Amino acid sequence: MFQTRRQFLSTALKSSTLVSMGVTAPTFLCRSALAALDAKGTDRVLVVVQLSGGNDGLNTVVPFGDDLYNKNRNALRIGTGQVLKVDDYVGLHPSLDGFAKLLEEGRLAILQGVGYPNPSRSHFRSMDIWHTASMAEKLPGDGWIGRAIGRSELRREGTVPAMHFGSGKLPLALAGRTTEVPSLASLEDYRLQAGSAGRDQLTAVASAERSAATLQFLQRSTLEAYSTSGRLEEMAKKYDTPVKYPTTELARKLKLIAQLIDARFGTRIFYVSLDGFDTHANQAPMHAQLLSELGGAVKAFVDDIAHHGHLDEVMVMTFSEFGRRVKENGSRGTDHGAGSQMFLAGGKVKPGLIGKHPSLTDLDDGDLKHHTDFRQVYASVLESWLGCPSRDVLGGEFEAVKIVG
Amino acid sequence: MSDNLLAPFEPTAADPWDRRRVAHLYRRAAFGATWAELDEGVKLGPQACVERLLKGTGAKGFTDQDLAAVARTAVAAGSDRNLQGWWVLRMMAGPHPLVERLTLFWHDHFATSQDKVANLALMLDQNELFRKHAFGPFWDRQSGGLLLAVSRDPAMLIWLDSNSNRRAAPNENFAREIMELFALGIGNYTEKDIREAARAFTGWFVNKNQFRFSSSEHDTGDKTVLGRTGNWDGHDVVRIIAEQPAAAEFLVGKLYRYLVSENDPPDSAVVDSLSAGLREREYDIGWLASTILRSRLFYSGAAIRQRIASPIDFTIGTARRLEGSRVSPAALADISSRLGQTLFHPPNVAGWEEGKAWINSSTSLGRSNFAQEIVASGGRFAGRTDPAALAAKYGRTTDRDVVQFFLELLVDGDVPGETRERLAASMRTPVENAGVFRSAASEKDAKARRLVQLILSLPEYNLC
């Protein structure tokens, strides 16, 4: 039925990709394939879901029990009767029924009041801060995940430590100095049309040593693509699941990830994005649709992972570059704000609310104040979930938050 | 120092005016050169060659009238794909490639996407606006230049929600992006400037696809924007922004990255000198582009191959160099899109990130696949390129000459010795029976196709 890691690797070892590379191929490929055969398949996996555009946290986990919420959200208010109550003060947006079910099952954590000091309201600067985990004037060129996968704790030779699913550019979070993270629009697209003989020739001409840094970068990306695509072709055969995923783009990507996890591909961090949260005007219908896509896809993914027996190996983490102003604007939308919540999902998360909802009276220039730095959450995910020391990755010590239950 | 770097390039024995420098000019100021254009450029010499690109290459290809008709048809049919194809056609075979280059620059700079605008006619209008103002002025006192025109452009108003910018509740989206991304850059304004500027833009609407000002929705109170207080409207704010010293530097930095190098930041003396010149000339972008393209700096190692080819550079450049004049522009637009650059659909208001962001293993595979597709004797581009015939047209027929010809045409002849040997060896290896080139007319034909595929897949070919 499902291909095991062992079956996969023995196929890959026989296939022309590895065998034919000979002296010009990076030797790590052969060594690593052998090393991977001995690996146990219990590596924990992190799936990052980026909500791009600045998700309106206040209408995601709604403080319906607060008069100030009702005052500030005249057109966009989600009433007490509509929210999916978490407790007597906050409830989930009605389109997040997928998350509400996960919460009932004890598979969802809601980290409230997450942000960083002196927040930037620029999409680009703020997203870069979340990606690099740095607030320096001149941000580093690599991202927190890119740095993490450069460390031995997350690197197993011959596996791809992190992968991005999406058609856009590689998120800065995944940029590293030595490793190029693959970025896949879909498994079907990720195929070298030249076939195996063509692959050998292309690999051979691209393999000669280059000295310029940009050429080395281009070369690494090309060679990585040639070798990974060969492996994926073997794997993309078929996948059975009784779970019915919604027909959304996010669900499609998460299903591919479930497939790779089940096939023991060895990747530790997967990254996907859901775009469209920059709701300056006519927010309500768009926001509802986005949250429905988010909740539905993550719920199906967690169910699928559970069905295949990997529930306790996988954690999903969401974030957005900022929340939005407490007060709605005049276009039935919201402008850029600060701070928001993060969601964690999986079999091992500490379920329920973590941290208090930020005050609606004590605002910072019209925005919610955070009480938890997002780098504390990264530190916790790195240390207590992925088993990777966080100090060097994050450029400092950040007090952990208890997220694993 | 900067005067020296910005002085016109004059060839010397050590720095000759050769195919390599012509190819570089055509990669940056056009969309790649054919072999004939390389030879012609060498004969013209540097200043005349730049002059030619500034005036437009005209002649062959299509006229503006032909092209306008193609655009109208695409819009009338509601075909996003055909409109993309129209623009690709302009870049490939239009009368003025440098204008298209700058139009693409402005499209990236004032990145507006059909995803939200959802109106091809307005997207076309905006594109024509960029073309009309390609050489500037970016802003001037009389007309307001490109910056004011874009601020009133219906597609832009829809894209950044100015269309719902009411007195009672200003929408900050456009006010933020004009400062952050269009004219000043982060660090040159405050959050308060954005809020005040948003008030000044209240009342700017789109109605029936036209700009309209609604005085009843305009906030007539005093606003303080960038340290200046008054009852400002949108025109005033655009002027106040354009008069900031940071504006010229911001623009120079951005065009430098586009035309010169995305690796090393520019020398500050160069930026100062160009910014001062730009201010003196009321933001004349034609002057800025021409000064850069003629300069010693532009033909030095600080510029040559210091950019990564965008998907548009990669696809259109390949079709041009291989003289695949019958390659479908819409198909090239599709491929560019798969490689991460969909015309009229930049990813967000910051435009394409460019540089290394173009490259990941998925797009690397895509580029290799395109390299095969464009020279395959079957498939969607079947018969559109003919490498063996192209080499023969320029008198290259022996294996050795053919390898040298394509290396010079495609990668400035600059690859590691080992790679050159492997390419030469490929000409001595039979083409596989089952391979994609098997239906080629002859073994020689098939080998030339395979050779070009291999060169187009080299890391070097991704440099621009």
* Chain centroid, CA A9 distance in Å: 26
Using DSSP's 3-state secondary structure scheme, residue B131 falls into helix
Which range (A4-13, A344-353, B446-455) has the least confidence? A4-13
pLDDT over 80 (residue B274): yes
pLDDT over 60 (residue B208): yes
Cβ of residue B418 closer than 8 Å to a chain A Cβ: yes
Q: Which residue has the tokens 């402008």?
A: A335
Which range (A320-329, A391-400, B11-20, B374-383) has the least confidence? B374-383
Task: Determine the average pLDDT of the residues in B73-88.
Answer: 96
Asked whether the beta carbons of B11 and B49 are under 8 A apart, the reply is no
Cβ of residue B7 closer than 8 Å to a chain A Cβ: no
pLDDT over 80 (residue B433): no
Among B184, B195, B186, which residue's Cα sits nearest to residue B225?
Answer: B195
In chain B, what residues touch A122 (CB-CB under 8 Å)?
176, 180, 186
How confident is the model at residue B353, as a pLDDT? 85
Cβ of residue A192 closer than 8 Å to a chain B Cβ: yes
Distances (CA, A) of A31 to A42, A152, A376: 21, 16, 36
How confident is the model at residue B255, as a pLDDT? 97
Domain borders along chain A are 45-189+244-394
CA A145, A149, A152, A156 torsion-angle sign = positive
How confident is the model at residue B439, as a pLDDT? 74
Among B386, B289, B362, B85, which residue's Cα sits nearest to residue A224?
Answer: B362
How confident is the model at residue B379, as a pLDDT? 84
Question: For B178-244, where are the alpha helices, taking DSSP H only?
Answer: 191-200, 234-242
Task: Determine the average pLDDT of the residues in B347-375.
Answer: 90
Largest CA distance in chain A: 70
Q: State the amino acid at position A367 in one-letter form.
A: D
The answer for residues whose C-beta is within 8 angstroms of residue A251's C-beta and 6 or more apart is A245, A293, A296, A297, A300, A301
pLDDT over 50 (residue A24): no
How confident is the model at residue B59, as a pLDDT? 54
Asked whether the beta carbons of A135 and A379 are under 8 A apart, the reply is no
pLDDT tens-place string over residues B92-128: 998 999 999 999 999 999 999 998 999 999 999 999 9
Nearest to B308 among A214, A226, A282 (CB): A214
Partners of A273 in the beta sheet? A50
Determine what percent of chain B is predicted with pLDDT higher than 90: 83
Asked whether the beta carbons of B351 and B109 are under 8 A apart, the reply is yes
CA B183, B189, B194, B197 torsion-angle sign = negative
State the best of A124, A165, A214 to mutate against chain B, taking most chain B CBs within 10 Å.
Answer: A214
More confident residue, A185 or A41: A185
Instruction: Note whether A329 contacts B348, CB cutoff 8 Å.
Output: no
Distances (CA, A) of A317 to A49, A51, A403: 6, 11, 11
Which 232-261 residues of chain A touch chain B by CB within 8 A?
A: none
Q: Which tokens in the block code for residue B24?
A: 């570089």
How confident is the model at residue A266, as a pLDDT? 83
Task: Determine the average pLDDT of the residues in A362-375.
Answer: 95
Task: Determine the average pLDDT of the residues in B211-227.
Answer: 95
* Chain centroid, CA A163 distance in Å: 9
Determine what percent of chain A is predicted with pLDDT higher than 90: 69
Task: Tell me the pLDDT of chain A averaged across its residues.
Answer: 86
Distances (CA, A) of B164 to A277, B157, B208, B236, B245: 18, 9, 15, 20, 31
For A21-115, where are the E strands, in sequence order?
Answer: 45-52, 61-62, 84-85, 91-92, 108-115
pLDDT over 60 (residue B158): yes
Nearest-Å Rg of the Cα atoms of chain B is 24
Distances (CA, A) of B149 to A91, B129, B152, B213: 46, 8, 5, 14
**DSSP, residue by residue, A231-274:** HHHHH-S----S----SSHHHHHHHHHHHHHHTT----EEEEEE
pLDDT tens-place string over residues A369-403: 999 999 999 999 999 999 999 999 999 999 999 99
CATH number of A45-189+244-394: 3.40.720
How confident is the model at residue A11, as a pLDDT? 39
- ipTM score: 0.92
- C-alpha to C-alpha distance for B308 and B360, rounded to whole angstroms: 12
Provide φ and ψ at B8, rounded to 5°: -60, 140
Q: State the amino acid at position B244 in one-letter form.
A: Q
- C-alpha to C-alpha distance for B237 and B196, rounded to whole angstroms: 10
Instruction: Note whether B366 contacts A189, CB cutoff 8 Å.
Output: yes
Cβ of residue A118 closer than 8 Å to a chain B Cβ: no
- Under DSSP, the state recorded for A172 is G
pLDDT over 80 (residue B164): no
In chain B, what residues touch A336 (CB-CB under 8 Å)?
172, 176
- C-alpha to C-alpha distance for B464 and B462, rounded to whole angstroms: 6
pLDDT over 70 (residue A16): no
For the entire predicted model, the pTM comes to 0.78
- C-alpha to C-alpha distance for B455 and B409, rounded to whole angstroms: 10
Task: Determine the average pLDDT of the residues in A356-364.
Answer: 95
How confident is the model at residue A35, as a pLDDT? 38
How confident is the model at residue B325, as a pLDDT? 80
More confident residue, A365 or A102: A102
* Confidence band of A41 (pLDDT split at 50, 70, 90): very low
pLDDT tens-place string over residues A224-270: 888 878 777 776 666 889 999 999 999 999 999 998 898 777 899 99
Asked whether the beta carbons of B346 and B111 are under 8 A apart, the reply is yes
Instruction: Give A2: exposed, middle or buried? Use CB within 10 Å, 0-12, 13-18, 19+.
Output: middle
Residue A359, min C-alpha distance to chain B (Å):
22
More confident residue, B423 or A151: B423
Task: Tell me the pLDDT of chain B averaged across its residues.
Answer: 94
Cβ of residue B458 closer than 8 Å to a chain A Cβ: yes
Distances (CA, A) of B148 to A72, B100, B139, B238, B272: 34, 21, 7, 6, 24
Among A12, A16, A2, which residue's Cα sits nearest to residue A36?
Answer: A12
Nearest to A215 among B353, B426, B459 (CB): B459
Task: Determine the average pLDDT of the residues in A310-333.
Answer: 96
* Confidence band of A39 (pLDDT split at 50, 70, 90): very low
Which range (A291-295, B32-36, B439-443) has the least confidence? B439-443
pLDDT tens-place string over residues B369-405: 999 999 998 888 888 999 999 999 999 999 999 999 9
Closest chain B residue to the Cα of A183, Cα to Cα: B362
pLDDT tens-place string over residues B27-79: 999 999 999 999 999 999 999 999 999 999 765 667 888 889 999 999 999 99
